[in-house]
């Protein structure tokens, strides 16, 4: 009997030790791979990277995009959990300051952390500096805001750009909208100031091609992008000469300044003197400055005087309208269109990587690129149980969004206001009453 009790105690101790060991092992596995899903599978963490400007010339937009991506992370994880899928998304944010050199360094940082799908960068200059590394290391990039035509970021043929997707149309479309704006407002003469990087030059060249012969260009001024000017007086002086020459031929409502830049336009405007001829005419901008908080805060009165008509890609589904309302309620500000595009990009990137992990068990850039194209029509239509917030996303042969309309914003009484919409289907602007 004593021997039986002893054996029984030993057996119980062995079982207990086994349970403890099993619990410890499961805990260790959970730290590395995540918790178990409802199906009992270990949850795999999909790390997405986000290359955003959080402290540079377009930080006001970068922070709006970051907000949208935080919502995307919540929503994607809720989706995976509801579907019983063994995945969890984690978005890692890196601040590029819109500096091409920093963008490459931050891309390398993300790659070293095992991130293979990246949302961003925001500017084309950054993308141009990253493309060789992206191709060499087979990473997937989905930019929400790079708009320079492929040749301006160094891509000679579509095959060279197979890992780089842009869910926004190129400036081939935006230049049409800007040209239509100028003509619709009866502009006969213009002075141009533009940022001399890949994005600025790309948009400049595309637009000049569409207005030359119909609108006189008195001055065509390029300024450096890295670093941007701190003293704008040489550029202001040259622009003033151009406007004065145009005012000798045309009325003030027939003359304009077109500026292609980012938040630095705030500094430029603030340095324009109150009696400058530059403030006697309307200004036009682009997607680089639209909804900039800095311009309103630092140059609100002057900006209101010149309006700064600015274009931004616009595509918003019914789901998108709900998202905008939710965004406003949570963050107390209006999201930019690029914030909405980034939200869609995170969804498509996460779903594509999850599909590849299910099929192959490991990351494969070529297969992810293929899955993105397969998932896009399903995601756009709502077939997957979730809908695009920017409507139908179709890509051209360069993996860029194939078309789109453009909203026209302006600064009225110190606030950005939606003033019109350029429709790609008609090539015309519908101005708000």
Q: What is the mean pLDDT of residues 314-331?
A: 95
Q: Does pLDDT of 365 surpass 50?
A: yes
Q: pLDDT class for 349, splitting at 50, 70, 90?
A: very high
Higher pLDDT, 137 or 403: 137
DSSP code, position 267: H
- Give DSSP secondary structure letters for 343-357: HHHHHHHHHHHHHHH
- The predicted model scores a pTM of 0.84
pLDDT for res 33: 43
- Taking a C-beta distance cutoff of 8 angstroms, is the pair 74, 343 a contact? no
Topology of the domain covering 44-169+315-403:
Rossmann fold (3.40.50)
CATH top-level class of 172-314+406-431: alpha beta
pLDDT for res 41: 74
Per-domain boundaries in the chain: 44-169+315-403, 172-314+406-431
d(CA 174, CA 179): 9
pLDDT for res 316: 86
d(CA 327, CA 329): 5
- Taking a C-beta distance cutoff of 8 angstroms, is the pair 170, 150 a contact? yes
Read off the pLDDT of residues 89-141 as tens digits, 9 standing for 90 and up. 999 999 999 999 999 999 999 999 999 999 999 999 999 999 999 999 999 99
pLDDT for res 405: 93
- Taking a C-beta distance cutoff of 8 angstroms, is the pair 401, 348 a contact? no
d(CA 157, CA 400): 13
Q: What is the mean pLDDT of residues 234-238?
A: 98
Read off the pLDDT of residues 250-303 as tens digits, 9 standing for 90 and up. 999 999 999 999 999 999 999 999 999 999 999 999 999 999 999 999 998 999
3-state SS, residue 32: helix
Read off the pLDDT of residues 13-68 as tens digits, 9 standing for 90 and up. 333 444 333 333 332 222 234 455 555 679 999 999 999 999 999 998 999 999 99
Higher pLDDT, 20 or 160: 160
pLDDT for res 120: 98
Fold matches, 44-169+315-403 and 172-314+406-431: yes
Token code pair at residue 70 = 């935080």
Helix residue spans in 248-277 (DSSP H): 264-270
pLDDT for res 16: 40
Mean pLDDT of the chain, nearest integer: 91
d(CA 211, CA 230): 30
- Taking a C-beta distance cutoff of 8 angstroms, is the pair 146, 169 a contact? no
Q: What is the mean pLDDT of residues 60-79?
A: 97
pLDDT for res 40: 62
Q: Does pLDDT of 381 surpass 70?
A: yes
Q: What is the mean pLDDT of residues 172-177?
A: 94
Instruction: Tell me which residue has tokens 């899955």.
Output: 371
Which pairs with CB-CB distance under 8 Å and at least 24 residues apart come from 409-413? Answer: 409/290, 409/291, 409/309, 409/310, 409/311, 409/312, 410/307, 410/308, 410/309, 410/310, 411/295, 411/296, 411/300, 411/303, 411/304, 411/307, 411/308, 412/304, 412/307, 413/304
Give CA separation, 286 vs 10, 23, 200, 324, 404, in Å.
78, 58, 10, 22, 15
């Amino acid at each position: 009997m004593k021997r039986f009790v002893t054996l029984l105690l030993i057996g119980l101790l062995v079982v207990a030790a086994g349970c403890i060991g099993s619990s410890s092992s499961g805990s260790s596995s959970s730290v590395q791979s995540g918790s178990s899903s409802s199906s009992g599978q270990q949850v795999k963490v999909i790390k997405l990277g986000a290359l955003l400007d959080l402290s540079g010339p377009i930080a006001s937009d970068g922070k709006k995009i970051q907000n949208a991506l935080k919502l995307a992370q919540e929503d994607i994880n809720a989706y995976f959990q509801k579907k019983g899928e063994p995945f969890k998304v984690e978005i890692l944010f890196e601040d590029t300051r819109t500096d091409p050199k920093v963008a490459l360094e931050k891309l390398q940082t993300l790659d070293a952390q095992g991130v293979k799908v990246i949302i961003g960068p925001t500017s084309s200059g950054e993308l141009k500096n990253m493309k060789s590394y992206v191709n060499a290391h087979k990473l997937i990039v989905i930019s929400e805001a790079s708009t320079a035509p492929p040749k301006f970021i160094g891509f000679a043929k579509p095959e060279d750009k197979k890992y780089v997707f842009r869910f926004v149309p190129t400036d081939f479309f935006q230049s049409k909208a800007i040209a239509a704006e100028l003509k619709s407002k009866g502009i006969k003469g213009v002075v141009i100031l533009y940022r001399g990087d890949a994005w600025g030059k790309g948009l400049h060249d595309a637009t000049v091609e569409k207005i030359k012969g119909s609108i006189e260009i008195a001055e065509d001024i390029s300024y450096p992008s890295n670093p941007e000017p701190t003293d704008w007086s040489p550029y202001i002086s040259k622009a003033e000469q151009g406007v004065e020459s145009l005012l000798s031929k045309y009325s003030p409502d027939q003359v304009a300044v077109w500026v292609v830049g980012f938040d630095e336009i705030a500094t430029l405007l603030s340095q324009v003197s109150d009696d400058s001829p530059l403030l006697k005419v309307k200004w036009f901008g682009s997607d680089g400055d639209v909804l900039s908080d800095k311009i309103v805060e630092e140059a609100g009165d002057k900006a209101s005087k010149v309006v700064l008509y600015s274009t931004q890609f616009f595509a918003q589904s019914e789901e998108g309208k709900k998202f905008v309302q939710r965004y406003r309620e949570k963050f107390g500000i209006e999201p930019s269109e690029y914030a909405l595009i980034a939200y869609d990009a995170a969804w498509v990137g996460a779903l594509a990587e999850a599909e590849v992990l299910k099929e192959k068990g490991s990351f494969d850039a070529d297969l992810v690129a293929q899955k993105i194209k397969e998932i896009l029509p399903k995601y756009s239509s709502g077939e997957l149980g979730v809908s695009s917030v920017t409507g139908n996303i179709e890509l051209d042969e360069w993996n860029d969004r194939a078309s789109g309309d453009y909203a026209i914003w302006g600064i009225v009484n110190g606030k950005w206001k939606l003033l019109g919409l350029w429709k790609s289907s008609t090539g015309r602007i519908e101005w708000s009453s």
